[in-house]
Structure formats: C-alpha cells, structure tokens
Amino acid sequence: GDSVTQMEGPVTLSEEAFLTINCTYTATGYPSLFWYVQYPGEGLQLLLKATKADDKGSNKGFEATYRKETTSFHLEKGSVQVSDSAVYFCALSDFSNTGKLIFGQGTTLQVKP
Amino acid sequence: DVKVTQSSRYLVKRTGEKVFLECVQDMDHENMFWYRQDPGLGLRLIYFSYDVKMKEKGDIPEGYSVSREKKERFSLILESASTNQTSMYLCASRGQDRNTQYFGPGTRLTVL
C-alpha cells in the first residue's frame, strides 16, 4: 500500500542554519503531497502542498518540490528561527474514495538560539 | 477561517469506561476524519465520514465506533477504553477541495 517515510529525528539546529527534512513516498499513481506542522500543544496546520510532479510548494520561507523521478518531497528552509521548533509531518493523499492522508512518522525540529 | 473544535484538550479515563470524543466544524464540510497520533507512527486514520450517518472504517478501527447525526459534528466512541488507547486523537474536516484537511487542536486521552 501507499506509504511515506521521513528522516528520523530529532533534528537540532542553531538559529539561521539551513534545514532539510527528507521525505520519500511509495504510491500508485501520482498523489498530492503535503507538509504539515504541529507546534507544541496544538493540532496540525497545513504548511505547504504540491499536487503534481515538479510543482514547488512554499510558505513561510519553507519550500518543497514534488520529484516524481526520486519519489521525494524534501522540506527545506534557508534560515531557521527558534519559532520553527515543531514537529513536521510529510503526507500524501491517496486516490481512494476516502482521499485520506497517509502520514510519515513525523520529525521533531528543535532550533536553539 | 475554518474552525475545527474538539470538546476536550485533555481527558483521563479508567479502563472499561465508555468514552466520547466530540468534534465540531463550522464550514459545512461533508467529510470528517478521526486520526490517532502516536510517537514514531505519525497519524493513522481510525474512521472517516463522508456525509451525515455515512461512515467508513479507516486503517485502525478496532475498539472504536463513530457517530455523525449532524453534518457539523463527528463523534468518536471508545466502547470500553483500554490502556492501549492512550493517545492523541485528532479530528479533521475537508470540503470540496480534496487536497485540504483542517485539523482540530487534538484531545490527549490517558486511560488508566
């Protein structure tokens, strides 16, 4: 079945460092891909999405490009801030009638001043 | 702004109790979801509802049931709570845009 694999965390960075969180997927067809963020004590918020190959999603300085050839959707940010500390989830939307989201296991990011 | 609210942020129950988790959305969305979040496992779908009184099992429905009597409200029921149901429960809703789900703040349930 469809699945999403994220890099293991936690990831600890200093403020202004470059961030990459790897995400690869296995799916039939070409699903939509998402990054969700969960700040401490809160629910999930959609960070960015891409619905077809070569699309780039971007928001709040974060970017991810839908790479069909490598089945990847890596999250990047050029300069992280302490306020970016959160758990990041990569997800895909399947093609069933449900259209449910299939999530990776989540990657905790801690940014130190 | 879409708002999805959950009845409790924290809940502590005893083994064997019947537990109700409530979720309400204010955007007239047809689709609603219940997920369970566990460390290292991400989120897993428990149940999905695509209309009033309509439901489908997700990936881990065992030990759970749901109720959708009104469009805005989707309830998750633990008939007889067990310790392995200690988890964070997240509700989500989705409208016409299949690519966007809106999540509630979550309910952290502890079963003793």
Report the chain A residue with the minimal C-alpha distance to residue B97.
A99
Q: Considering only CA atoms, which of A37, B59, A109, A38 is closest in space to residue A49?
A: A37
Spatial separation of the C-alpha atoms in residues A99 and A17, rounded to whole Å: 36
A97 band by pLDDT with thresholds 50, 70 and 90: low
Strands B10-13 and B107-111: parallel
Spatial separation of the C-alpha atoms in residues A30 and B86, rounded to whole Å: 35
Query: Within an 8 Å CB–CB cutoff, is residue A7 touching chain B?
Result: no
Task: Note the pLDDT of residue A18.
Answer: 97
* Contact call for A43 and B48, based on CB within 8 A: no
Query: Within an 8 Å CB–CB cutoff, is residue A56 touching chain B?
Result: no
Spatial separation of the C-alpha atoms in residues A94 and B50, rounded to whole Å: 15
* Contact call for B103 and A45, based on CB within 8 A: yes
Mean pLDDT of A91-107: 84
CB-facing half-sphere around the CA of B98: CA atoms within 13 A: 14
Spatial separation of the C-alpha atoms in residues B20 and B4, rounded to whole Å: 17
Mean pLDDT of A36-65: 93
Q: Inform me whether the pLDDT recorded for A29 exceeds 90.
A: no
Question: Cα dihedral angle (B3, A102, B61, B77), rounded to 10 degrees?
Answer: -10
Task: Note the pLDDT of residue B97.
Answer: 81
Q: Inform me whether the pLDDT recorded for A94 exceeds 80.
A: no
Residue B4 Cα, gap to closest chain A Cα (Å): 10
Task: Note the pLDDT of residue B47.
Answer: 96
In sequence order, the 6+-apart residues with CB closer than 8 A to the CB of B111 are B12, B13, B14, B15, B17, B19, B81, B82, B83, B85, B86
Assign residue A54 a region (left: φ > 0; alpha: ψ between -120 and 50; beta: otherwise): left
The model's pLDDT over B86-101, given as tens digits with 9 standing for 90+, comes to 999 999 999 888 778 8
* Closest CB to B99 among A32, A36, A97: A32
Task: Note the pLDDT of residue A95.
Answer: 66
Task: Note the pLDDT of residue A43.
Answer: 86
Query: Within an 8 Å CB–CB cutoff, is residue A10 touching chain B?
Result: no
Task: Note the pLDDT of residue A76.
Answer: 98
Q: Inform me whether the pLDDT recorded for A98 exceeds 80.
A: no
Q: Which of A7-16, A87-96, A104-113, B33-42 has the lowest mean pLDDT?
A: A87-96
Contacts of A89 in chain B (CB under 8 A): 42-43
Task: Note the pLDDT of residue A8.
Answer: 80
In chain B, pLDDT over 90 holds for what percent of residues? Answer: 85
Q: Which of A99-103, B6-10, B50-54, B83-87 has the lowest mean pLDDT?
A: A99-103
Question: Cα dihedral angle (B26, B33, B91, A72), rounded to 10 degrees?
Answer: -110
Cβ atoms A40, A17 nearer than 8 A: no
Q: Inform me whether the pLDDT recorded for B102 exceeds 70.
A: yes
Task: Note the pLDDT of residue A42.
Answer: 85
